[in-house]
Amino acid sequence: MDNKAVAEILIKGQKNFRPKVDRPMPSSLRDEIYTFGANSCILDLAAVVAGTKPAAFIINTDDHPLFYILTERAQAAGYCLQKIPSPFHKDVIFIFIGIKENVSELIAATEDLRSKRIAIEEWHWCMGKALGYPTEAIEKFIQKIRKSAKKSRIKARF
């Protein structure tokens, strides 16, 4: 099966995607992920092309063959694509694809984090909203981060 056919399968598989608290990101195609070598970033992009997700956040996946096909489809459908350097690692590129307003929000939040105008928790909040995650899912994620940070501080004392 060629990559265009695989991309079509992934897009069709995301037509019914609806973000939920326990599943804010597309993940219903586990078999296809492993069969076709896609990853969650590629599924996010397929959901954008399918029209069920407002934006996708992709990290250094632009060498994946499905990325090119799905990106071309997204741009042909009028979605915006922007690449910016990661605020965390100099060799990492953040790629945002989706509705122009959402992509602008993702870039603004990342630039605000880079310039230290916002904290990491606020960045996660802004990113989650722009990516279309339910509010409760974002809150749960931030609680996880807090718990993890708390455990790390406790371990660091010993």
User: b/e for 24-41, b at 16 or more Cβ within 10 A?
Assistant: bbbeebeebbeebebbeb
Gap between the Cα atoms of 129 and 145, Å rounded: 17
Domain spans of the chain, in order of start: 3-156
Q: Above 60 in pLDDT, residue 25?
A: yes
Q: What is the pLDDT of residue 50?
A: 96
Q: Cα separations (Å) of 112 from 33, 37, 109, 123?
A: 33, 34, 5, 8
pTM here? 0.84
DSSP string, 4-19: HHHHHHHHHHTTT---
pLDDT at 148: 82
The distance between the two most distant Cα atoms of the chain, rounded to a whole number of Å, is 55
Instruction: Report the pLDDT value the prediction gives residue 82, as an integer from 0 to 100.
Output: 96
CA 115 to the chain's CA centroid: 22
User: Which residue would you say has higher pLDDT here, 28 or 38?
Assistant: 38
- Cα–Cα distances in Å, from 157 out to 119, 143, 151, 153, 154? 24, 22, 10, 7, 6
Check if the beta carbon of residue 101 is closer than 8 Å to that of residue 73: no
pLDDT tens for 111-139 read 999 999 999 999 999 999 999 999 999 99
